[in-house]
Structure 1
Amino acid sequence: MPAEHLDVLIIGAGLSGVGAAYHLMKHCPGKRFAILEGRTALGGTWDLFRYPGIRSDSDMFTLGYNFKPWTNPLAIADGPSIRRYIAETAEENGIQEKIRFQHKVLKADWCSERATWTLQVQRGEDAEPIQLSCQHLLMCTGYYRYEAGYTPEFKGREQFQGDFIHPQQWPEHFDYNGKNVVVIGSGATAVTLVPAMADKAKHVTMLQRSPTYVVSLPQGDPISAFLRRFLPETWVYRLARTRNVAMQLGFYKLSKTLPNLVRKVLLSLTKRQLGAGYDMRHFTPRYQPWDERVCAVPDGDLFKVLREGKASVVTAAIDGFTAKGIRLKSGEELPADVIVSATGLELQLFGGMQVAVDGVPFDAAKSMGYRGIMLRDLPNVAVVLGYTNASWTLKADLSSEYFCRLINHMDASGMRQCTPRDALRKVKQAPFLDLASGYIQRAADKIPSQGDRAPWKLYQNYLLDLLLLRYGRVVDGYLEFSSPQVGSAPATAEAI
């Protein structure tokens, strides 16, 4: 029996995948498509992560879709609210019925003769994978491994008699009431967990190897709350979105242009939050702002629990675990009933699937990003990723819109295959992500590079991408279009 054929397959039903489906239905209404989701529910990150306090680390006016206003009064929202927002989007736009749950893609093979992707898909508990084929792939799988997060090797871990947890696998209904908790880490997850656990725990200690910039942002948006009295919700959303995009871009640009000034301001704001006499070495990073991500905490909740004595910060290196806690290099021991390893993610492209082009395995690490969406020498594939210096969905929306424009251009010109090429290999390579964060450095040999010039350079600039991706020319001399005629087109079947 021939493989079921669809025009487009979207891999992943998270924030990016549901958004991609909306744009595909709007801009390419005649295309047959389905969303393949390996898990049993939609939501991606916002369904997977269930640790205490899980929330957005940026405002929802920019993390929300460009087509669906965020109406919740909280600008920095909790995980369940975001998950409901994604589910509402899917339900309102008829996307829910396009999702095929428990469909994990194992392998994707491109055939140039037929201009077709053939996918091996594990469906539920079936003994044998099924085959699906399509002309275009939209990879909305994110950039990290869902099965497990990153956990360093801790000497003596097997001796520890308490509970050891990675936030990515948080146990349901886990009781930490009245216990001493040590959270290892200083990133977005750690600064979320510490205040969230402080009210129930006996004491929470954030144990960090080095400090991170932490800034307090208002959890609500009083300007939008006021404007809602007079203006339609869509107008309020657009105004807030425009304002916050400008602030994000301005802050990032200022950080890169005048890093010492921004550093001084950030440290001054932190000192004001912590109060007189607090040891600022715990919040004074060795690097400049935006060499790594800046962490936001809503209404200063982290600083509040530190001031109240419910939590504390220790900056030190770990020597190893003991039966009752963690021994530091200094010889001091931190008592712990619960240790949470908020030590980051394992980066992974394509959701872990194997990808091949005409039988040859595709090595993403040897490729280069094209417009931050496609990859050199990989035909008919968009890899939807967000920004590192702004909200994820800003870039995800633009990426999906651009790929729809590309599909329509191919249809109009009678082309079936589109591949980014750098034939002369004159573009100089640079790291794909310009951040010194540990999870990025650990995956340097797994992710593609970027170039030193357009369209291979990743600008991390929403306004520039808006102009280039939504309004710029599709044909730019770097995309190779073709229409192979060898062989016959695969059999077709309607999507769900």
Structure 2
Amino acid sequence: MPDKANDILDVLIIGAGVSGIGCACYLTREQPYRNWRILEARERIGGTWDLFRYPGIRSDSDLYTFSYAFKPWDSPNSIASAGEILEYLNETVEEYDLENRIDFGQKVLTADWNSQRGYWTVTVEDGTQFFARWIFGAAGYYDYEHGFRPHFENEERFEGPIIHPQFWPEDFDYSGKHIAVIGSGATAVTIVPSMTDKAAHVTQIQRTPTYIVPRPKQDKLALFFRKWLPAKTAHALTRWKNIRIQRLFYLYCQTFPKHARKTIMRMNKRHLPEDYPIKTHFNPPYNPWDQRLCAVPDADFFSDIRKEKVSIVTGQIDQFIPEGVQMTTGERVEADAIILATGLKLQMFGGVELTVDNVPVETGEKLVYRGMMLDGVPNFCFAQGYTNSSWTLKVGLVCEHFCELLDKMDEQGASICTPMRPADESQNRPLLDFDAGYVKRAADMLPKQGKGFPWEMNDSFMVDRKAFRTREVLQPELKLSNPEQMHTQEAAE
């Protein structure tokens, strides 16, 4: 137990990545009187952008929407490298004086809520405990310690290194080597053209194709705005332009999937060699935006195919052989090294085990309230971004609403806030209603969404923004209380 009341934080943020830093900034801006800290398991900020070190690591979203609304993105690149994103995050930490309130090397193992006391006891790996009235989970949903790693027949026969991008070795020199990259998602599409500068040749092996959309690395209209307008105005205009374009394209793909497929394939064809087998390598068996589209800056992926630096093999892998990979067709892909861009493994809240009054929280059985809280779990908020547009757009809305909720609780004289699941709410769609492999593999452990407000997860920033700003902060589904009230009620019963 804490020695004194001052030892209890108002808010404990778990994770110093994009979401955690964003939450800290909103608290600093909107709630300067709150006492808060960040616990970060690693030794540096940045989360995913610091963890992944594979060649070419970059954003898949434009940075005008991925950056914070309150801090303009000032790089000329709309699709940016991890280095540029980390520089932006470090600038943010410095501008808001956050570093002294981040505890590094503090991997949170458990968080235990006590209703009588009205606060969380958070235990980290070395046994140290922190106490907080609120937890803000900002650890994302990737398992940093384990990537998704399928087994391939006769892997041990391959004579070269087998590398997962999540654990890229710093001393790996691929100069002059033939590289096979297994996978078809964003990681593979990023790595393949980024290795052609040194590799003799890169072959992408994919079981099924992915929709790949070329996008300009730089946004000419954004640069025009920046030239003639104040930085904040230019940033806001570009941000709103891109939000609308993203949404319109998503709706187009969902409403007219056949036409959208043809449009994307025509875009691909313009950048590929004549008579290239597009229907074999760029014709997925699902509709556009049933899974996330892969963006390639300045069509670099297609350019390397034209230059014959990159080959694509589509089909089933039979086995690994000493010289590389053998397909079920009998085709062999010779390789000096194999990169397994086979996907990510999900976990909720950084793997923290939550308990409420000594009862474990079964995350997979919980409904999500307004995309930011769990039913029956007091004073716990988390950041969950969009899958069909920039992650940070949703995080910004959640952080704003979180600050408003804290103020409303103060006005009501309440210190505990618990979303209560209605008895007739029986819907249980997955939190991420998305047809991607990494989501399907984690379906059982992910929270669920219900039907209608406030239990349904929206996929539209515009819809969410309107709901957060026009609907009351204190909804009937929220139970406000104090530790003393709960103790009195229990005694009466």
Q: Which amino acid aligns with 2:81?
A: D
Counterpart in 2 of 1:57? 60
Q: Is the 8 A contact 2:377 2:419 kept in 1?
A: yes
Deviation of the 1:36 alpha carbon: 0.2
Query: 5 Å matches for 1:122-201?
Result: 122-123=125-126, 129-201=127-199
Match for 2:20 among 17, 40, 43? 17
Counterpart in 2 of 1:491? none
Q: CA separation in 1, counterparts of 2:393 and 2:455?
A: 19
Q: Is the 8 A contact 1:114 1:486 kept in 2?
A: no
Q: CA separation in 1, counterparts of 2:227 and 2:28?
A: 33
Counterpart in 2 of 1:440? 439
Deviations 1:448-490 (A, max 9, x none): 11112111111111011111123421122111111121799xx
- The alignment status of 1:352 with 2:355, answered yes or no, reads no
Deviation of the 1:2 alpha carbon: 3.0
Counterpart in 2 of 1:430? 429
Deviations 1:5-53 (A, max 9, x none): 2111000000110000000111221110000001000000110011100
Q: CA separation in 1, counterparts of 2:86 and 2:468?
A: 28
Counterpart in 2 of 1:284? 283
Q: Is the 8 A contact 1:150 1:343 kept in 2?
A: yes
Q: Which amino acid aligns with 1:132?
A: F
SS in structure 1 opposite 2:179?
A: strand
Q: CA separation in 1, counterparts of 2:424 and 2:472?
A: 22
Query: 5 Å matches for 1:193-272?
Result: 193-272=191-270
SS in structure 1 opposite 2:109?
A: strand
Q: CA separation in 2, counterparts of 1:220 and 1:184?
A: 29
Counterpart in 2 of 1:493? none
CA root-mean-square deviation: 1.3
Q: Which amino acid aligns with 1:143?
A: Y
Deviation of the 1:227 alpha carbon: 2.3
Deviations 1:307-335 (A, max 9, x none): 11000111011112112211111122211
Deviations 1:421-459 (A, max 9, x none): 123133422122121110001001110111121111111
SS in structure 2 opposite 1:228?
A: helix
SS in structure 2 opposite 1:411?
A: helix
- The alignment status of 1:323 with 2:322, answered yes or no, reads yes
Q: CA separation in 2, counterparts of 1:258 and 1:432?
A: 25
Q: CA separation in 1, counterparts of 2:231 and 2:476?
A: 42
Counterpart in 1 of 2:89? 86
Deviation of the 1:347 alpha carbon: 0.3
- Cα distance change of structure 1 residues 286 and 133 upon mapping to structure 2, 3 Å threshold: same
Q: Is the 8 A contact 1:291 1:434 kept in 2?
A: no
Q: Which amino acid aligns with 1:62?
A: T
SS in structure 1 opposite 2:396?
A: helix
TM-score, structure 2 as length reference = 0.96
In structure 1, the gaps of 5 or more residues are: 124-128, 489-496
Q: CA separation in 1, counterparts of 2:122 and 2:485?
A: 20
- The alignment status of 1:117 with 2:120, answered yes or no, reads yes
Q: CA separation in 2, counterparts of 1:349 and 1:338?
A: 33
Query: 5 Å matches for 1:100-115?
Result: 100-115=103-118
Q: Which amino acid aligns with 2:195?
A: M
Q: CA separation in 1, counterparts of 2:266 and 2:17?
A: 38
Q: CA separation in 2, counterparts of 1:135 and 1:166?
A: 39
Q: CA separation in 2, counterparts of 1:226 and 1:486?
A: 58
Aligned length: 483
SS in structure 2 opposite 1:103?
A: coil
Counterpart in 2 of 1:395? 394
Q: Is the 8 A contact 1:415 1:481 kept in 2?
A: yes
SS in structure 1 opposite 2:60?
A: coil
Counterpart in 1 of 2:311? 312
Q: Relative to structure 2, which stretch is displaced further, 479-488 or 147-156?
A: 479-488
Q: Is the 8 A contact 1:199 1:310 kept in 2?
A: no
TM-score, structure 1 as length reference = 0.95
Q: CA separation in 1, counterparts of 2:252 and 2:220?
A: 25
